[in-house]
Amino acid sequence: MRLFGLEFAPLLVPWERRLQTLAAAVWFVITAFGGLACWFITFAVLLFGSQWLRLLVIAYLLFAYYDRETSRKGGRSKRIYLLFRNLAWWRYFCAYFPIKIVKTVDLDPTRNYLFCSFPHGILSTGVSGAFTTNGLDCAKLFPGLDFRLLTLDAHFQTPLFREYVLNYGICSCDKDSIDYLLSHKPTERDGPTEAPVTGRACILIVGGAAEAFKCKPQTYNILLKRRKGFVKRALKNGAPLVPVFSFGETDLYDQLNSPEGSFLRAVQEFVKKLTGIAPVVPIGRGLFQYSFGLVPNRKPVHVVVGAPLDVPKIEEPSREEVDLYHAQFTEKLIELFETHKSKYLENHESVKLILDDC
């Protein structure tokens, strides 16, 4: 139904779809604005709250300082994160788009893997739904693996918001955290559960925040050519590199144009340099209309998990060794994209995977 140039959602929509839309909207608000809101709440209580509230916040900040290394030392245990990953609303969230995991090979559940995910998109919605929730039962698809999404350190330095991130089993993406996760197997602290874990899958979004600036519908521009640190981490720990590609990720949002050299891009780059977060202006849909808004578009996302690239364990890999396995991984990623794009992309003949330098 169109009115005043806007395309509105039908009035008689099943409650199931309404709940799916609400789940996607709530997820966006928490992900995009949760950190800023938590800083605001913390300062507001410290400045204007009652004495007891101030003492409570100070006690929490002391706890957060004491707990500061958790994000680099394996994160919260499985018994904690399962409470949050099993929430029913994640099934509504994953069903909204829908998000689907496509498994191409079985993975040895006794090994640790580095899942290298592309593209970043605006908010990495596909891998978030696939691996930080049980909305798709990823633990049943890959039994025995403990899934840990990796994200910016800044999220773990934000009061209150750090608890939200940690309680979903998310860890820091800095090199010490990756080395810890890849060099340690899950222990008793990650149980007991009905499905014990014996290996680990760390999900790294290689392109990072900078790749968000390149996100436009029906385009796949990824940052890989100069991103080689992940290969070094894999070699150091002898962890197989697993290419992961989220087809449809870039269709969830458009964004306000900010070409290189524009004032908006300069502001965005400044904020990114300051915080590590890319402040793009997403263009999605609204709760009750499809023309504009901040809710992601209802487009399917297929998270395809490719075959692992085995690498040797080299304590101090040389530049030549890093370059060699980076080239092999790049070939595997391109092969994964070309093999599956016809299944999951519209007009796939005209869609190319572009590997950018920066």
Residue 207 lies in a domain: yes
191 pLDDT above the threshold of 70: no
Return the bridge partners of 254, or none. Answer: 283
267 pLDDT above the threshold of 60: yes
% of the chain exceeding 70 in pLDDT: 94
Residue 113 lies in a domain: yes
What's the number of domains the chain is made of? 1
**Region 353-358 average pLDDT:** 86
Domain extent, residue 154, equals: 12-344
258 pLDDT above the threshold of 90: no
Residue 7 lies in a domain: no
148 membership: H or E segment, kind and range: strand 145-151
pLDDT reported for residue 1: 59
**Region 199-220 average pLDDT:** 94
Q: How confident is the model at residue 13 (pLDDT cuts 50, 70, 90)?
A: confident
What does the DSSP assignment read for 234-279?
Answer: HHHHTPPEEEEEEETGGGS-EE----TTSHHHHHHHHHHHHHS---
3-state SS, 74-86, equals CCCCHHHHHHHHC
pLDDT reported for residue 198: 87
Residue 240 lies in a domain: yes
238: its two tokens: 């002898």
Residue 351 lies in a domain: no
Q: How confident is the model at residue 169 (pLDDT cuts 50, 70, 90)?
A: very high
358 pLDDT above the threshold of 70: no
- The letter for the amino acid at 133 is T
Residue 5 lies in a domain: no
Residue 317 lies in a domain: yes
From CA 258, how far away is CA 237, in angstroms rounded? 39
Residue 3 lies in a domain: no
Q: What is the pTM of this model?
A: 0.93
pLDDT reported for residue 2: 60
Mean pLDDT, the chain, whole residue set: 92
**Region 240-246 average pLDDT:** 99
From CA 102, how far away is CA 304, in angstroms rounded? 5
pLDDT reported for residue 4: 54
pLDDT reported for residue 276: 78
Residue 312 in contact with residue 238, Cβ under 8 Å? yes
**Region 25-43 average pLDDT:** 96
43 pLDDT above the threshold of 80: yes
223 pLDDT above the threshold of 80: yes
Cα→Cα distances 60→53, 67, 75, Å? 10, 10, 18
What are the tens digits of pLDDT across the range 326-351? 999 999 999 999 999 999 999 899 99
